[in-house]
């Protein structure tokens, strides 16, 4: 016996039709440019690992400068 498939265009059986017709959530028209930038570029889940890498690099750089300024005299022989 041949296996019968679903009708064309019916989509997966585990989706409800409401999920297929709705698009992405519409942004708030009263949202400011700054809050939209933070939402889309800083806190977006797909961009968070890269942002954490950048923050780690900047923190190491600033920490190195602070250590060199505080204990720089130990690096130079007297």
Q: What is the residue-level pLDDT of the chain in tens, covering all 78 positions?
A: 566 777 777 666 665 555 555 556 677 888 899 999 999 999 999 999 999 999 999 999 999 999 999 999 998 887
**CA distances, 40 to each of 7, 15, 43, 62, 69 (Å):** 38, 27, 7, 27, 37
Is residue 9 included in any domain, yes or no?
no
pLDDT at 7: 72
Is residue 12 included in any domain, yes or no?
no
**Distance (Å, whole) CA 55 – CA 70:** 22
Predicted model pTM = 0.57
Domain count for the chain, please give it.
Answer: 1
Domain of residue 65 covers 48-78
Is residue 8 included in any domain, yes or no?
no
Is residue 55 included in any domain, yes or no?
yes
């Amino acid at each position: 016996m041949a296996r019968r498939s679903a009708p064309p265009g019916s989509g997966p059986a585990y989706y409800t039709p409401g999920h297929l017709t709705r698009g992405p959530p519409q942004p708030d028209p009263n949202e400011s440019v700054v809050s939209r930038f933070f939402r889309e570029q800083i806190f977006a889940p797909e961009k968070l690992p890269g942002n954490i890498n950048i923050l780690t690099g900047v923190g190491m750089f600033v920490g190195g400068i602070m250590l060199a300024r505080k204990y720089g005299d130990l690096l130079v022989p007297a």
